[in-house]
Structure 1
Amino acid sequence: MRPHKLFASLLGLSITLSSPLCAQSKSSWRAATTGELTAALPARAPVERERIETEMRTASGIIDTHGRLIAGVVLITAGYSAEGKYSHYLLVQAPISFENVALSPGSYVIGWTRKEDSLSVAFYDAATGVKRGTASAHHLEIGSRVESFRLWPPADHTFLQIGRFAIPYTLQE
């Protein structure tokens, strides 16, 4: 085989072999099943000095091929000191960023305040209550379904949805 034909054949082969690898990084995350979410998320989330009940039917998350989960659930804060400050519990087993808020593996709580046409979403360390940062959730298009909490898999969308608002995320490998 001539050198230029050999080069062209090898180039074609390398593109063919690398294409699934590129696609795999995006599709290596999928929606977590109810069983996976139930096994990982607590029925009572440890938040500062309290153990706050969670609403498991609102649980949502993503899981990768290595079993690393990023998931959250609504907190039932009525009667707890967290009432009005936190609304969701977030378990992170792989690094993720929401706008400029980088979260390493750990447990977090989320609180939000309504702005004119967005939500200001604050992330806190669940154990200490220390604020990790704030991101803006923007209004989704009209007609989109309202979700209490939904972390969409990258193959569908790359955002965390709270109500009719969404915060883009980036997975850190």
Structure 2
Amino acid sequence: MSIEYSRYYDSNVVQSSEHHPNGEKVILQIKISSMVEIHRHDSDNDPTVTIEEIGERNYLINLSDVKLFSERMVNTLYFSCQLRLLGVPRDEHQPIIAKLYQVADEAVSPEYPIVVTIRVISKRRSLDSQTPSCAICLENFADEEDVDQPLITHMPCAHRYHQHCIVPWLAINPLCPLCRQNPN
């Protein structure tokens, strides 16, 4: 069975309404979770969704330093390192940090934490390994009840072909015509 994977990141940055007095320092809370959606081709049911918390880190940072443009380079490097430690790919850092600066610039008090929520969304979809037709001759497979149908060969990768099509193919090329997997 072939599986198609896709992954993307979704982030949200807000200033919490929970009151936490820490003087001039604001709590920066980074939460990261993983959401996996599994779509089965042979199922009419809704996808299976699993959500798992990957990690959470809290930092005390000086809100006035984050707001200072002259400190942005240092803070950007710091935030980027923290995101990398949580496993967020480097190309996702800039949009998350831009949202963080936007919320920090609008923050009126360091007494309310800034919460960065990152979701890693992975989608897995099983591709139809039970193809309705032979990928070599493109003819549909006959119903199982039809005794005159050509024999169907199942490859180890679960792709199906007419036996009279796949045997000559494998004599020339030892790989599955669809997924290029070696059956040996």
Fold match (TM-score > 0.5)? no
Q: Which has the higher helix share?
A: 2
The bucket for the TM-score relative to the shorter chain is: under 0.3
Q: Which has the higher strand share?
A: 1
Structure having the higher Rg: 2
Q: TM-score, normalised by structure 2?
A: 0.23
